[in-house]
Structure 1
């Protein structure tokens, strides 16, 4: 089975981090979120991937290459107009997938990895027109509310229902298995009031016409990686709960004090410093003597000078915090150092 990953968006809510990196390259526990997606798909047997790119795409292409080091075969496709809607983005995969079922997913999602295999296996055991994923949330007004009927059949999907009007708390999670019938449905739906082709409208059309769109309820972790605060939150969640199944790599640094709930990549550079409270230090990052980090994220190539104090902070690739500086954000409003 092939897979299509939509990774072309600008990521406005993730600014200022996305002023220097595309959102799919923002790391969660030291791996780009797109790498988590890719590894989950490969483990599910989805090894031939099309990655739809645009914004700062050279970073994605350089990091993933042909996909071989992740066990995948990756092809890239440049999307000229990322603002055309989710349906327009999905249509770009039509030639790539041919006449076979395929996985479609957004490239900025974090979930318990075994969900990918469960989704694919469920479709193979009970094939239909498609299978969508859902997660339970208190308020689906910012997503798409999904009503589920008998035998896991999808009855209704409503994009961004006004607060208090949703018929269900099940939210469209953004990972799907489709047959190529979805492409015809996308072409037949009218443009939304925003002038976009909405994937949810095509999903509803396909469900109404076939009655064979089913629903898989995700287990464990699900989150979009929407803004800087979500990066800190996800690191804390994953490092607090190994049962979520998200892999974490840790190096050994005898000269540093590192809490067990932190993740420092094996090829970072640490002096006699302190790393506390769910801090993540990526490959190629450097923390010098006397620095103290709490609830921070250092992206590849970031450098924290001697004697610095950082809390609830994100240091972007190549950025350097000069010796002795203090930066203190909050979990809701992290300090971002460019």
Structure 2
């Protein structure tokens, strides 16, 4: 079976992380986002995968190659300019001679595309969209379905007062190759904004497959954190024989090779701490935190459901709350990073600085200090 993975986006909602790394290659715990998707497809019998790429595409190609190491065949149709979701699938038309699946490269999910395929074949439509109920439908494409699950209306990201349904498109589709006839060649064209509304106007049958499984769009910090939490919650307890542990550990934790955890530190799982980390005395690592390889955490620091990329250094008495710290950063003493803040790679943040919730710190910045609520920076 064949599936298309849409991986050409710029990942603007996850900047500054995506200035140097495509969204699909950002790590969720120990693997890139796209690795989870390839595994997900392979386990459901999709053995030929077409990845539509554009932005920083060589990072994707170098990691996955032709797919043989992942038990699949991978093709990369050349896309010189961004063509949108539907346009990039049209660009891969030569590979699509049978019913095929489509998945966004920022989806981490348990929704079964194989089950959606069976559902699609029973109804014999041109397209089937996997739908989930959401609390904030205005942030998604939403659908209205009749009693036979046929979609009667579809609109992309309506205003809150225009929402007629809470059934959101997950970006997981099952499509017939005939649908490609409705997509113009070499033209930016989108499934949700262009193709599906046009097909409905033409009276073409599109069905909604309603799912109740875990699904999250990792393209925003809050979605990225939910995906990380979901993965961390699946780990089993593992402590490397080369780890040196004096602190207290509770629950499922993964502690890698040569990691040192000093006296007085408390770690409450599920938590992942990778290789070659040092966590000084009296620190606290709380559930659903991820500390990647080579990280140093100073004494008295508290990590609360945060993700810290490799080779970063966090000094004493800092506090990280549900945030993302990129690689090679240096955070001073008593630094506080608020919820859903994102600190880009190679940043330095001086002692006693507070980074407010939702803030974005661009790569290579030096945050010198905070005076009267104004953060001073320099490159």
User: Of 222, 229, 239, which aligns to 1:236?
Assistant: 229
Aligned counterpart, 1:110: 108
Aligned counterpart, 1:271: 278
Aligned counterpart, 1:96: 95
Query: Which structure ranks higher in relative contact order (CA pairs < 8 Å, sequence separation ≥ 6)?
Result: 1
- Find the structure with the greater CA-based Rg: 2
Alpha carbons of 1:196 and 1:74: their partners in 2 closer, same or farther (altered >3 Å)?
closer
- 1:255-302 CA-to-partner distances (Å, cap 9, x unmatched) read 23532121234xx222344532321134x4433674653322133x43
Aligned counterpart, 2:330: 321
Q: Which runs of 5+ in 1 are unaligned?
A: none
Secondary structure of 1:62's counterpart equals helix
- 1:63-108 CA-to-partner distances (Å, cap 9, x unmatched) read 22222332222122342222x43221221221122x2011111101
Q: Aligned pair count?
A: 318
- 1:98-124 CA-to-partner distances (Å, cap 9, x unmatched) read x20111111011222x53332233234
Q: Which runs of 5+ in 2 are unaligned?
A: 246-260, 347-379
- 1:176-206 CA-to-partner distances (Å, cap 9, x unmatched) read 0101122112239xx9xxx942213322343
Aligned counterpart, 2:214: 221
Secondary structure of 2:181's counterpart equals helix
Structure-2 separation of matches of 1:79 and 1:187: 15
TM-score (norm 2): 0.74
State which drifts further: 250-259 or 140-149: 250-259
Aligned counterpart, 1:17: 17
TM-score (norm 1): 0.82
Q: Is the Cα contact below 8 Å between 1:327 and 1:335 reproduced in 2?
A: no
Alpha carbons of 1:326 and 1:232: their partners in 2 closer, same or farther (altered >3 Å)?
farther
Structure-1 separation of matches of 2:334 and 2:64: 35
Secondary structure of 2:120's counterpart equals helix
Q: Is the Cα contact below 8 Å between 1:134 and 1:218 reproduced in 2?
A: yes
Aligned counterpart, 2:306: 296
1:68 aligned to 2:68? Answer: yes
- 1:214-249 CA-to-partner distances (Å, cap 9, x unmatched) read 11112222221122343234333554xx5xxxx547
- 1:5-53 CA-to-partner distances (Å, cap 9, x unmatched) read 1111111111111122111112223332212221111111112111111
More helix, by proportion: 1
Q: Is the Cα contact below 8 Å between 1:2 and 1:46 reproduced in 2?
A: yes
Alpha carbons of 1:285 and 1:94: their partners in 2 closer, same or farther (altered >3 Å)?
farther
